[in-house]
Amino acid sequence: MSKGKRIFVVRGMRCAGCAANVEKTVSRLPGAKEVYVNFAAGLLSLSAPAEALPDRAVIAAVGSLGFEAAAQGNAPDAAEEDRRSARAERFRLVVSLLSASLLAATAALPAASGSALLQIALLLPAVAAGWRFYRNGIPALFRGTPDMDTLIAVGTLAAVVCSLWRVSCGIFAPLYFDTAAMILAFITLGRFLEAKSRRRAGSAIRELAALRPEEAVRIREDGSSEKIPLSEVRPGDRLAVAPGGRIPVDGVVVAGESGVDESMLTGEPLPLARTSGDAVTGGSLVVDGRLEIRAEAVGADTVLARILALVEEAQGSRPPIARLADRVAGVFVWGVLAAAAATAAAWSLARGSGSEALEYSLSVLVIACPCALGLATPIALVVGIGNGAKRGILFRNGAALERLAAVRLFLFDKTGTLTAGRPALAGVVPAPGFSAEELLASAAAAERFSEHPVAAAIVAAAEEKGLALPEASEFRARPGFGVSARIGGASWRFGSFRFLRESGIDTAGGASPENEGAVVAAARETAFAGFLSFADELRPGAAEAIGELHRLGLRCEMLTGDRRSAAEAVARAANLDGFSAGLLPDEKAAAVAEHCRKQPTAMVGDGINDAPALARADVGIAIGAGTAAAMEAADVVLVADDPGAAAAAVRLSRRTMRIIRENLFWAFFYNLLGIPLAAGVFVALFGGPRLAPMWGAAAMAASSLTVVLNALRLKRPC
């Protein structure tokens, strides 16, 4: 999580106006900065040191508006809260619909005192089911922070009070009890469907959280086992995981072997073989064998916990595209109240009919919808970011997602990003008088004492060829240059050509290392013995990833600190559009900054030396196997070791931004058309059409639901 960034779970918000009021109230607290409330996710994010602004102050401020807040991690179980809320919503919906239906039938009876009293009796259950609109909306009006509940409460109260006054005067037609009941029923139906759809939208993070088992099986020192709560697992504990079970924490396999399904974390569809010494990630599924693991990271330090925290932080962030809609939603309700009052005054003066003026003003109050505006961006972010996480694509914030959609140039690091980062023996070139087998076996005999990656590649190549390695003694290493050892009674040296020349060995008979990539030269006593060349293999799928980015209309280049010959070979194999070689970390960052000045640019890397370049890019993308430094500097993290996920991230970001723009267009268009229609502007100008208040309420509910359903299209694979 970003430094100083804090997230709170807020419950009880019913519309975008509620979110705007929470945001405005918390923003007034001393020290609160970058305050944003995502209504769709129910998250409040802010930047403030805890000592300057304690959690209790934020929670109290939210509570003063009638909502509940809790710091992330201390909030009640979201799944249970959702189930309880859904049951209550369903009960209120049934009562509202039944009451409104009976009331509509009663309103068709001949006007009389008896039918009027029956309508009042049938209205009471609808008012009781919708009591929260009055309980929340009226106090919000007097606090000066009106919301959608205020519009509903004011509109239905006006209809009910007007009808009661007419009944008290002995006037039994027209009455608006059925109108009030139908408004409450339609709004309740819309809220029920919208909440259900929003739960579907946020299902990705709940599915990720569900990967954590509640218990773990710990193996005692005497070999027996015990079940313990996950919270009691400590680093170093030995844990058993049976076939079909989920690995509780990050660790290392110490016994057993099995296929492990990591698809919910990395998007990789096939189980990966894991055996003793292999690292495993908490939340992964053990497929067909029993594993014993040693716990390494637990609690908030696990990969899954960090992913969940990153996703929640991203879903609670405000992308730049949301600012206009948020500003409009913040003042929308006041504008609607003013429009309703103006509508009532205009029709009263024009027609002298109080009932007609009431109907038009009621329609304005219930058709206006800040929810569609307020939901347009956050609901798409919740779905897009959540489903990206399920596919191993983690966006640090909404702004990163928006910037990635605009990127036109991709810059790649070479080693560990486009290539596997593990050197492999490419060739053995012996000098006259030496054989390739002797040269490789001698090199492996000396290098098996070294931990250098090139040494490991030499030893692996010798073992693959089945060579018998001679005994080596008097091993010495000179970091950055090479090693020496006594093999078969002779002194051998392996390392750079410079290392050999400084030892007085004539290397003129060797090939130019500049044309051979990475080279280890060899000498026996004072004679040059030849050299071994190495290549960093292209990562599987790297060329396909570049091809996919090309099909998306993107240019792809490479920045590397490696020598030009090695860079050129990789660029050619991956079909890159260009490359720059021999760059130091600060030079790589400067090159990224120069590209950013010309066009929106993304940088993909994995190592510590990539962190400055990732930070300077418009969008920094870290490959998942990379270092913590690279992941902290990045805006997007690809959990799997697959650069091909970069293309999937671009597609997801573009689709999300397209959905957001569609949502914003339809939300603005709906209100620009709906409010004049409800106010009777078309009736005054053209003689129609006219919109009854109950159908205005239905249209309002439909507008919010349309925005949510449109965002749910993002759940489809990219």
Which are the catalytic amino acids?
Answer: 413
Q: What is the Cα 490 distance to its own chain's centre?
A: 60
Taking a C-beta distance cutoff of 8 angstroms, is the pair 644, 388 a contact? no
Q: Quick one: which H or E segment has residue 209?
A: helix 203-209
Cα 258 to Cα 105, 250, 274, 284, 601, distances in angstroms: 66, 16, 6, 12, 41
Task: Report the C-alpha gap between 40 and 711 in whole angstroms.
Answer: 11
Distances 607 to 169, 541, 624, 645 between C-alpha atoms, Å: 82, 20, 10, 18
Pairing of strands 285-286, 527-538: unpaired
- Pairwise CA distance, residues 430 & 510, whole Å: 9
- Cβ pair 50, 58 in contact under 8 A: no
Angle, vertex CA 14, rays to CA 10 and CA 19, nearest 5: 55
CA dihedral 28, 30, 31, 36 (to 10 degrees): -20
The encoded tokens of residue 432 equal: 């006259």
Neighbours of 503 (CB within 10 A): 15
Write down the H helix ranges in 286-322.
303-315
- Using a 10 angstrom Cβ sphere, with 0-12 exposed, 13-18 middle and 19 or more buried, the burial of residue 195 is middle
Query: How far from 395 is each of 423, 611, 613, 637, 702, CA to CA, in Å?
Result: 31, 17, 18, 7, 31
CA angle 275, 278, 284 (to 5 degrees): 85
What does DSSP assign to residue 246?
B
Cβ neighbours around 72 below 10 Å, total: 18
DSSP secondary structure code for residue 412 in this structure: E
Rounded to an integer, what distance in angstroms lies between the CA atom of residue 483 and that of residue 470?
16
Is-contact 51 94, C-beta < 8 A? Answer: no
**Sign of dihedral through CA atoms 558, 564, 568, 569?**
negative
| Contact call for residues 500 and 521 (beta carbons, < 8 A) | yes
Please give the full DSSP string across 103-167, using - where no structure is assigned.
Answer: HHHHHTSPP-HHHHHHHHHHHHHHHHHTHHHHHHHHHHHHHT---HHHHHHHHHHHHHHHHHHHH
* CB 536, CB 511: distance < 8 Å: no
Q: Identify the three-state secondary structure at position 98.
A: helix
Q: What is the DSSP string of 28-44?
A: TSTT-EEEEEETTTTEE
Task: Give me the torsion for CA of 129, 132, 137, 138, rounded to 10°.
Answer: 80
Q: Tally Cβ neighbours within 10 Å of residue 625.
A: 16
DSSP classification of residue 552: T
Query: How far is Cα 461 from Cα 447, in angstroms, rounded to an integer?
Result: 12
